[in-house]
A and B are shown apart, each in its own frame.
Chain A
Amino acid sequence: MTPAHERSIPGVDNRTKLLEASMKRHQFQPDALIEVLHTAQELYGHLDDELLMTIAHGLKVPPSRIYGVATFYHFFSLKPKGRHSCVVCMGTACYVKGASKVLSALEAHTGVRAGETTADGAVSLGTARCLGACGLAPAVVYDGEVAGQQTPDIVLNHVKGWQAHESRGVA
């Protein structure tokens, strides 16, 4: 999954076209709502009201229903995400192997709780219910890459690495 900004032609935002194409592929059927929301979030990073309205019109779904669906599923985010994301798996195997210690360390270091983004928009902290990487517990996902057998020290180093990068002015 390449992020949207790498796929778009420089100077031209073709995301609207891609979203339209995704709705068209499903013949603008209302039952494609979740598939289209997936595509929209991939393209734009999060789902703002304008985007939800576009989809509501495209698929002929009432706005309140679309909002109800978008907020029902954990995957969809109505707020912008950070430039980096760090998701701690809280599945049973990871919990038994101390995932909560990893998460507490992260929360203490960044000053935000799971589900939030640091004020500078650098890091979003999240939890997952189970990544299915239980053989490697505890697992953490850094910007979409799964890493296994993590400890509080390893994750803090990783996040500090991002932050050092940011402060040197490299986004």
Chain B
Amino acid sequence: MAVVTLTINNQLLSARDDQTILDAVRDAGIDLPTLCHLEGVSDVGACRLCLVEIEGTRRLQPACVTRVAEGMVVQTDTERLRGYRRDIVQLLFAERNHVCAVCVANGHCELQDMAVNLGVDHIDFEYLYPQCEVDTSHERFGVDHNRCILCTRCVRVCHEVEGAHTWDVRGRGTNARVITDLNQPWGLSDSCTSCGKCVMACPTGAIFNQGSTVAEMERDRSRLAFIVTAREKQQWLR
């Protein structure tokens, strides 16, 4: 382990050389939006919200999977990046049927917070209004595909932390959906342990507790990090 020095938004910072830019940014108390990143599981670099400009690199790089390096010069909050982030959030809103007013996660939703923080107050794109199912066959949980943003946090937490691999993704492109087992109703899944980690992981109202009503779906995401720390470092700290 060595320490490197890098410049982020014109501030000189130090970081461990095994850290990602995202780690370094958050350690420094700088805000960088993410949706597919979740403490305790691996990163996939899929939501493209944490893209940053790195001096000397032609393409924008996702901060969550890019390692820091000595002398790196990073910009995380330029007007260009903010514009891209606003567009990406808008694409997400247009892709499925997100109606905050009737959503269990209203007020506790990462997508909604993102829109508010980025100042997205209208959608430039045509809504696609896809036909999406709601599966409430599981006795404790439900999944509403209208609100899913395909961040795959449920898939990763189920595979990496719980070890059940109940969740995966079917199909491709905009027709992709998260599935349980052989695309069966969740309630019929043999592999599901009903541990609720996917419920904790979901950033929106897509995976929820049965019986929650509008705006009731609060989640304690630090619990996941707590479980992972306990397992990996034998430290039961919150």
Instruction: Give yes or no for direct A-B contact (beta carbon below 8 Å).
Output: yes
* A residues neighboring B (CB under 8 Å): 49, 52-53, 62-68, 71-72
Closest to A78 in B: B183
Q: Which 7 A-B pairs have the closest CB atoms?
A: A64-B168, A62-B165, A68-B168, A71-B170, A63-B181, A63-B182, A71-B171
Q: Please report the number of residue pairs spanning A and B whose Cβ atoms sit closer than 8 angstroms.
A: 40
Contacts of B165 in A (CB 8 A): 62, 64-65
Q: List 13 A-B contacts (CB under 8 A).
A: A49-B182, A53-B182, A62-B168, A62-B191, A63-B181, A63-B191, A64-B165, A65-B165, A65-B168, A68-B169, A71-B170, A72-B170, A72-B171
B179 at the interface (CB under 8 A from A): yes
A contact face: mostly helix, strand, loop, or mixed: helix
Number of B residues, CB within 8 Å of A: 15
CB-CB nearest in chain B for A65? B168
Residues in B with CB closer than 8 Å to A66 are 182
Does B141 touch A at the CB level, under 8 Å?
no
A67/B191 contact (C-beta < 8 A), A62-B165, A72-B171 known: no
Pick the contact of B168 from A52, A53, A67 — CB < 8 Å?
Answer: A67
| Chain A residues whose C-beta falls within 8 Å of the C-beta of B183 in the assembled complex | 67, 71
A64/B166 contact (C-beta < 8 A), A49-B182, A52-B182, A53-B182 known = yes
Residues of B within 8 A of A52 (CB): 182
B166-195 to A contact mask, C-beta < 8 Å, 1/0: 111111100000011111000000010000
Cα of A53 to Cα of B180 in the assembled complex, Å: 14
Q: Given the complex, which residues of B lie within 8 Å of A67, measured CB to CB?
A: 168, 170, 179, 181-183
* Chain B neighbourhood of A71, CB < 8 A: 170-172, 183
Complex Cα distance, B227 from A136, in Å, reads 61
CB-CB < 8 A to B179: which residues of A? 64, 67-68
Nearest chain A CB to B172's CB is how many angstroms away? 5
Expressed in whole angstroms, the minimum distance between the Cβ of A75 and any Cβ of chain B is 13
CA distance A93 to B180 in the complex (A): 40
